Each structure stands twice: as structure tokens, then as C-alpha cells.
Amino acid sequence: MNINAIIVEDEIHSGEMLRDMIAQLRPDWNILAILQSVSETIHWLNNNEHPQIIFLDIELADGNCFAIFDEVNVENSGVIFTTAYNEYALKAFNLNSIDYLLKPIKESELERALNKFDKAVEIISRVQEESKNEVNYQELARSIMNAKGGYRKRFLISKREAFFKLAVEDIAYFYFDARVTFAVSFDGVQHIINHSLDKLDEELNPEQFFRSNRQSIVNIEAIEKFESYFSGKLVVKLVNGLNDKILISRAKAGVFKEWMNH
């Protein structure tokens, strides 16, 4: 299979070294571009067919690479993150992440990441071959979502070596922090979700979930009670002490009460 890739790395020498390592390990791959900044990468992705895989440095000259995901939908590209700072590992998970490599990159670690990508491609190819009918799964998902009552039922969560499903009804609330969206389940476990809150607001059943503020969406089953707060706001208390800082603005307070009483 012909694989196209791009490298995003603000240090030219490091980008060229990674390109040469990839050429040694996967000589049949096409490195379409070596990009050096957030803005350059956004422009390239907006004007070219997306590659199957992106090698993405996290700290770039003009900012953090996660800003790219705010501007461009790269859901059809796998991502291998590269960085000298391991504190970004959590954010890297679930953003179509294949792996996370610390600099200086060792050939053995790169080989491991490439093998993981090859395995993912093999599984996808096998499923497509076994399918009797050609189905545009993105269009199918979009049609289901747009149908009356067709709200999201689950999320696919990745954890390094495996994937598992997270049912919507098991999520107590979503929150956005440091450019990352988290889903917190009723047992208090946090999962990174590759969706903006605006996107989730469209996909979730409005009878079950309420956009409490710009940073959070709450499940009605997670609400234990709410109380009056300063300046006409409301503060929502969740079951099991999951979060006691979810605020409802004065402008939304009336709508929230109607929603709770629906």
C-alpha cells in the first residue's frame, strides 16, 4: 500500500534526520512535506489531500501543535507525536494518536511506532475486503446523526495498545481544558475525546445533556442538586462528589431550570 506522510518539525536538521530514518525503515513511503510551524501546517492541510500519517512535533516555533486540531479536521490521518517533553503525553492520546516518541528518537522506538501503524492499516484493509457492500462510513454516520433522534451512543477510546467503547450514558460530564476535551465517567475516570464541546453539543441528546457553560456539558443523571450562586448564577453539585464547580450563567439559569423540570 502506498503511504503518504508529512513531518512537522521546527528544527530543520531534526526533520531531515527523521525523514532519513523513515526512508531506511519504510523506503516505499512518500514524505510529501517537512513543515516547520502551526500556521504552515494548517495552510498545507487546508490545501492538500491529507496524508495517511503525520509525524508531529508538539512544541513548534509559533505555538503548541494542538492548535492545529482546533483549525483542521485530521480524523483520517494517524499521528505519531514527537517531542522532548513527556508532560504532553496525556494530551497526545486519542488525537488519532498511533504513538508518542521522545527525542532524541531511537530507531527501535520509531520502528515500533511504524509497526503499530502498519497493524492498524492491515486491520482496516481486512475489514474493507470482507465487506460485501461498499459503504461510505462517514456519510452513513452523518446520516444517522442527522436523523430525528439519532444522537451519539458511544465513543471509541484509545489507550496505547488497544481501543474500547465508552457508552454515552456512562459519561457524567464533559469539560474542556488546555485545548483538550475530556469525558469523565461516573466512576471518576477521565478520557480524552477528540471532539470540541460545540461538536458534542450537536451530537448529544439535549434531553440528557446540557451545555452548562463554555467549558462543560453535564449529564442530567449526574446532577445531585444545584444551588444559587453569586450574581444570579447557579452552581451544580454532581453525584459522588465528581465536580462541585460547574456553574450555570445567569443568562442560562432559567433555561437550565426548565430543562431539569422537563
pLDDT per residue as tens, the chain (262 positions): 689 999 999 999 999 999 999 999 999 999 999 999 999 999 999 999 999 999 999 888 888 888 888 888 887 788 888 877 655 444 444 455 677 788 888 899 899 889 888 887 776 666 556 544 444 444 444 444 444 446 888 988 877 677 888 999 999 999 998 888 999 999 999 998 888 888 898 889 888 999 998 899 999 999 999 999 888 889 999 998 887 678 998 888 888 999 998 7
| Separation CA 33–CA 9 (nearest Å) | 10
pTM for this prediction? 0.50
Q: What is the CATH number of the domain that holds 182?
A: 2.40.50.40
Claim to verify: residue 125 and residue 16 sit in the same structural domain:
yes
Total Cβ atoms within 10 A of residue 208 = 14
Helix, strand, coil percent content, the chain, rounded in steps of 5: 40, 30, 30
Would you give the distance in Å from CA 118 to the centre of its chain?
A: 21
Domain boundary among 87, 106, 130: 130
Within 8 A by CB and 6+ apart from 150, the residues are 144
- 227, 228, 230, 202: which is closest to 217 by C-alpha? 202
Cβ neighbourhood burial of 21 (10 Å; 0-12, 13-18, 19+)? middle
Q: What is the CATH number of the domain that holds 83?
A: 3.40.50.2300
Claim to verify: residue 98 and residue 60 sit in the same structural domain:
yes
137 within domain boundaries: no
Claim to verify: residue 84 and residue 169 sit in the same structural domain:
no
Claim to verify: residue 122 and residue 13 sit in the same structural domain:
yes
Residue 132 pLDDT: 44
Q: Which residues does residue 217 pair with via DSSP β-bridges, in sequence order?
A: 174, 211
Within 8 A by CB and 6+ apart from 188, the residues are 240, 242
First CA to last CA distance, the chain: 54
135 within domain boundaries: no
- Say whether the peptide bond before residue 104 is cis (omega within 30 degrees of 0): yes
The conformation of residue 230, written as its DSSP 8-state character, comes to G
114 within domain boundaries: yes
Pairing label, strands 209-213, 216-219: antiparallel
Claim to verify: residue 75 and residue 185 sit in the same structural domain:
no
Domain that includes residue 36, residue range: 4-130
Domain boundary among 130, 154, 189: 130
Claim to verify: residue 123 and residue 54 sit in the same structural domain:
yes
Domain boundary among 78, 103, 130: 130
- Counted domains in the chain: 2
| Separation CA 99–CA 78 (nearest Å) | 9
